[in-house]
Each structure stands twice: as structure tokens, then as C-alpha cells.
Amino acid sequence: MPTFSRRNLFPPRLGGGAWSKPSQKAGIPERVIIPFQEAISMPCKITVHEGDRVKAGEKIGFMGNGDTCIAVHASTSGRVDQIAPMPHPLGFNALSVVIASDGKDEGVEAKPLGASGIGSNKEKMFEALREMGIPLNYPLLAKTGFAVSRLLINATEFEPPLTSGHHLIKEHGPHIIEGLKVLLSACSASQAVILIEKDRPSLIKTLKGFGSEVPAITIRGVNHPYPDTAVGYLAKKLFSKKPYRITADRRTEVMTVDLSSLFAIYNAWFWGMPLTEQLITVVGSAIPNPQNSWVKIGTPLANLVQSAGGTSSPLGQITLGGPLMGLPQSSLEVPIIKKTKGVCASVALLFDERRRSRFYKRVPCIKCAKCVDVCPVSIIPNLIADFIDNRFFSDAARRGVFLCAECGLCEYVCPSRIPLLELMKLGKVSLKGEQSLLTQSNLKLLS
């Protein structure tokens, strides 16, 4: 680090190469792997058999049951090669359908939802969105009788090198607003707040230009990006007069939606296309051509790395998501799933332990309070980590360990190299068991 340069608490925006280029369409992979489980032993039903021919956008089953049920579609045309447990990004083997692509990418006949005249019946509308495979918070919708009062859309890019969300606004701004309008009328929400960073004035202008005709849509500039996992906290902070004294039923009225779901709603409503494609940023030190590309859901990571010009020889680590919150993958056969925002591949040199100086090892906390200043949910990471290190778990819970969004910013800034995020996870697991791990529930939401 240069001695006299100014120190920033937040990571700088990287990945300028991917931001300046327009997004492109990725080629059709030889095979796609479509997982049917988002958690271990999640119920699912597969309606195709090995050897069947499927078309792109054809419904091949559904996963979940009851309120969490959501349809799964083939993302490209071809033959069902295999139905077997395959590696899932979350780290377990999920029952998956492997489709060997025929390269034609034939689609099924499109039936736009908007033309089918179901606009008056809310329940049917959400049933149709469910059939289109669009991930929304269906349990909350069912609980509130399909009437949430507020929508919160986090359009900030928390991971510094990823730009897929901003690309979606740049290239499909009006479509996102159209999708939001559909969703607003569907759940009769009175307010929709879009959060976006202030340092992207062109995107704010785009959104304001198209969203100004709807009074319910508010575009709100924020100074720093928020992680998707902190939006629950953020919703309380935005919509509640007393954010720290709020009853359970009031806060559940806020539904958080992400940008790719809004675009998928637009596609389903006006063009009848189910969610089979995802805009993904491919970046990292092992990627020569960082880019944003539309990839089929179920594309293995190996295809993504290859199409961005990378090879496997220098590859040290590949994460689904950015470098701050991304999940490292042990295999290149792992598929892209819904709500993935990007893939970050790094070269192996960065992980060489022998090159690490002794200044980069853990030393006692000097209470510099950088983690406190940077925390998006306003807890005191150094104090909580100290409690957990000494096994005072109930004190850690009183200081708000369950508020932790696991964004990793505290560990990013820590000059003492304390593994704050790992200690937070240890505290959560010790207090509530493995089910409380936010990575699990978070990725249930992400996938």
C-alpha cells in the first residue's frame, strides 16, 4: 500500500473492463445441469425421464412444496441425459437434470401472461409467475394475502468487481420499470423504493426518467452499497419510525425483490418467456476478458471461464459471487443458478501461504474501530468476535450477532487480520445450530 495515499474503508470499484463493455450473449453449452434442490433433502418433482427430448423453456418439474413451490424449466433444447445428484454451488450434491444440448435452442410457444387476461386475479397472477420460475418471496405473499405494502429493490452492487445489476439497468432500464409496475399492481403495494449508489448518476437518471410517471416508485441514492443479506435491516431502517422497536408483523410487510426477478417478470408478462437466462459478470485475475454475458441457467463454470478467455492452468480459486461474499467452489462442474450475479476467478499465486509475511498474520485486536465504522448493520464486530473467541455466546447474541449480514467488510478492513467473519459464523452455529447459518438461508434466497 502506498504510504501517502488516502485509505478508504470500502473496497474500490474494480472490474472497469467489464463495466465499459456492452453485455453479450454467451454460446450454448454442450450440456446444462439444472439442480432441483436448494437445500439438503428439499422435496422436488421431476416430470421428465432420461432420454426425453425437451425444448428451451419447457417445464421439466418443480421444486419445493406448498408456498415455496417454484417451477423449473429446461434452459436449452436437447435430450435429457441423466437424472442424478450433481454438485450444487452450496456444497452438497443436489438432484439435477442434465440436458445434452442439441445446439438449436428451440423454444416452446410463448404465451404472454399479460394477454391471457389474468390481471384481475392476484392469486392466479402469482400462480402464473410461479409457473414461470421467477423467484419471489412467495411464503410472505401467501401470508399477507398477496398484498404487501412496500417493495424494496436493492440495485446497489455490493461486490466491487461485479457490474451485472448495473448493466441490467443500463441496457434494460425501461423493462425493469415495466416489470416493477406489473409487480406493484399485482401485490397492490403502495410504495417501491429502489436503492442505488450515488456514484452512478447515469443509472439514477435512467431510472428516474422511466419511473417518474409512477408516483409509487422512489429512487433513493445511497453512499455505500448494501449487501443483499442486509436488506431486511435496511427495510426496517427505511420504513420504520423506530427501527429498533418494531413488531414482527409490521416488518414482514416489506418484500425485497432483486433486479433480475423484475426483468424476468417483464419477460414473462409481455413475451411469455420463463426465467432461463441470467446476466452474469465474469471477472477475476484469471480471466483475460472480463465481461457481462447472458448465460443459460445450468451452464457449468468451466464453460464460463473458457468463453471469457481463461484456462484452468493458473486457476486457484473460483467463487460464485464476488470476492467479498462469494462461495468458493471445489469443482468446475458446478452450474450457474438463478439469482447468481457473477463469477470471480483468481489465479493460484494469490493463495501462496509461503509468500505471506508475518505482518499478515493474526495479532491481538488494537480496537481501531474500523470494523465498527464500516459495518452496514451497525453492530460492533470486534466486541462480538472477542465474546465468541472466549465462548461467551449469550453476550454475543445480546450484542446482535444474528444481525450480522456476513458481508465480510469487517474482515476486509481489519488491520489485525482477525477472522471476524468466521468467528461470527461460529457464534451463530454454536447458539442456534447449523440451520442458523446465514449462508444457508441466504443461499436459499439466492438460488
Partner 1 sequence: MDAHLIVSPPPHLKSGETAHCLMFDVLIASLPIIFASVIFFGPHTLWIMFLSVSSAVATEVLIQIVFKSPGFAFRPFFYNLLTNEDITILDGSALVTGLLLSFTLPPGSPWWIPVAGSFVAIAVGKQAFGGVGYNIFNPALVGRAFLLAAWPVETTAWTATLRWEAWICSLSLSPQSWIVDGVTTATPLALLKLQNQPTPLFQLVAGNTAGCLGETSAIAILIGASYLLYKGTITWHIPCSFIGTVIPVSLLLGKDPVFNVFAGGLLLGAFFMATDVVTSPVTKWGRIVFGVGAGMITTIIRIYGAYPEGVCYAILLMNSLTPLIDRYAARTYQPSDENLGA
367 φψ region: left (φ > 0), alpha (ψ -120 to 50), beta (else): left
**Closest to partner 1 by CB, 162 or 265:** 162
> Between residues 92 and 351, which has the closer beta carbon with respect to partner 1?
351
Q: How far is the CB of 166 from partner 1 (least distance, A)?
A: 19
Q: Which is nearer to partner 1, 274 or 376 (CB)?
A: 376
CB of 334 to partner 1, least distance (A): 10
Of 323, 320, 325, which is closest to residue 342 (Cα–Cα)? 320
Min. distance of Cβ 91 from partner 1 in angstroms? 9
The CB-of-220 to partner 1 minimum distance in angstroms stands at: 20
Buried b (16+ CB within 10 A) or exposed e, 39-58: beebebebebeeebebbbbb
123/373 with CB nearer partner 1: 373
CA 438 to chain centre: 13
Compute the least distance from the CB of residue 33 to partner 1, in Å. Answer: 15
List C-alpha distances in Å: 141 to 146, 239, 339.
Answer: 5, 18, 19
Shortest spacing between CB 10 and partner 1, in angstroms:
9
User: Least separation, in Å, of the C-beta of 435 and partner 1?
Assistant: 11
Rounded Cα–Cα distance for residues 151 and 193 (Å): 6
Task: Using the minimum distance from each CB to partner 1, give the nearer residue, 165 or 323.
Answer: 323
Complex with partner 1: residue 12 or 51, whichever CB lies closer:
12
At its nearest, how many Å lie between partner 1 and the CB of residue 313?
Answer: 8
For partner 1, which is the closer residue by CB, 108 or 438?
438
In angstroms, what is the minimal distance from the CB of 377 to partner 1? 6
| Distance in Å, CB of 246 to partner 1, minimum | 9
- Return the HEC string of the chain: CCCCCCCCCCCCCCCHHHHHCCCEECCCCCEEEEECCCCCCCCEEECCCCCCEECECCEEEEECCHHHCEEEECCCCEEEEEEEEEECCCCCEEEEEEEEECCCCCECCCCCHHHHCCCCCHHHHHHHHHHCCCCCCHHHHHHCCCCCCEEEEECCCCCCCCCHHHHHHHHHHHHHHHHHHHHHHHCCCCEEEEEEECCCHHHHHHHHHHHCCCCCEEEEEECCCCCHHHHHHHHHHHHCCCCCCCCHHHHCCEEEECHHHHHHHHHHHHCCCCCCEEEEEEECCCCCCCEEEEEECCCEHHHHHHHCCCCCCCEEEEEEECCCCCEECCCCCCECCCCCCEEEEEEHHHHCHHHCCHHHCCCCCCCCCHHHHHCCCCCCHHHHHHHHHCCCHHHHHHCCHHHCCCCCHHHHHCCCCCCHHHHHHHHHHHHHCHHHCHHHHHHHHHC
Give the up-direction half-sphere exposure of residue 195: CA atoms within 13 A in the CB hemisphere: 23
CB of 148 to partner 1, least distance (A): 17
Q: Which is nearer to partner 1, 35 or 160 (CB)?
A: 160
Quick check: 279 and 299 in contact, CB under 8 A?
no
**With respect to partner 1, which residue has the nearer C-beta, 72 or 426?**
426
Nearer to partner 1, 169 or 409 (CB): 409
Cα(112)–Cα(100) distance, integer angstroms = 28
**Closer to partner 1 by Cβ: residue 122 or 399:** 399
Min. distance of Cβ 256 from partner 1 in angstroms? 11
User: Cβ closer to partner 1: 133 or 427?
Assistant: 427
